[in-house]
Structures are given as structure tokens and as C-alpha cells.
Amino acid sequence: MTKIWRKNEWEEIGHSLLNKTIPTSDLKRRKSSTVPFGYELSKEDAQYLEPIPKQLEALEAVEDMIVKEQITLRDACYWLQNHTGRSISHVGLKKIIDKKYGTRQERLGFTS
């Protein structure tokens, strides 16, 4: 008969479920094969993504300008690529903004 370990008991003796110590506060679990903008694969475990602060700050700045309609999606993509060295499509950027802030119609209050 094998003993079923509870997660807390397992961690108390110095193990994690992956036999690695992973600070989950900084890491994000990988959900697909595509690595999202602002993240890179973790060096310790390919199942997790590490944030890239420079890219995330640039993305937040661009999101703010797009929501205020000061810049177009395509221009924002060009700016991000020049500023961070990593490309993103205008469709991908639109998906990020729509998920976080809602669609343009919803933001303007024209939902039916």
C-alpha cells in the first residue's frame, strides 16, 4: 500500500510537486505552444513563463494610447517592435486589448 501525500506534507519535507522550487508569484503557467508577448520560457522549467518587465511596461504604455485612440493598432505594433525588439501582429495586440478592456464598441458604450 502506497501512502498518498498531501501537497503540504510533501512541501514540508523540502519537495515540490515538480521536485523543484519554483516561485509561482513571478511565473505564469504555460497554456499553449505560443509564448505571449512580454514573457519568455523559464530556464528552470519549460512549463512556466517568466515575465520580461521591459516588454510588459511597453505593452501597458501602448495599451493606454490605443484605448484613448491616440495611436492605431498597426502603429503601436511598429512602435513595440522598435522599442522592444519583439514583434506582435495588430490582430494579436487587438486580442490583448479586447480581453483586458473589452471591444471598442463596449468601451464606447454602443453594445446592443
Q: Where are the domains of the chain?
A: 53-108
**pLDDT value, residue 8:** 53
**pLDDT value, residue 12:** 53
Using the structure block, give the residue that is written with the C-alpha cell 505560443.
34
- Asked if 55 contacts 84 with a C-beta cutoff of 8 angstroms, the reply is yes
- Asked if 71 contacts 65 with a C-beta cutoff of 8 angstroms, the reply is yes
Instruction: Enter the DSSP assignment of 36.
Output: P
Residues of the chain above pLDDT 90, percent: 55
**pLDDT value, residue 4:** 52
**pLDDT value, residue 108:** 83
**pLDDT under 50: residue ranges of the chain:** 1-3, 5, 10, 13, 15-22
- Asked if 86 contacts 37 with a C-beta cutoff of 8 angstroms, the reply is yes
C-alpha distances out from residue 28 to 13, 33, 50, Å: 25, 14, 7
**pLDDT value, residue 111:** 67
Sign of CA dihedral 45, 46, 49, 50: positive
**Residue 80 CB coordination number (10 Å):** 21
**pLDDT value, residue 28:** 87
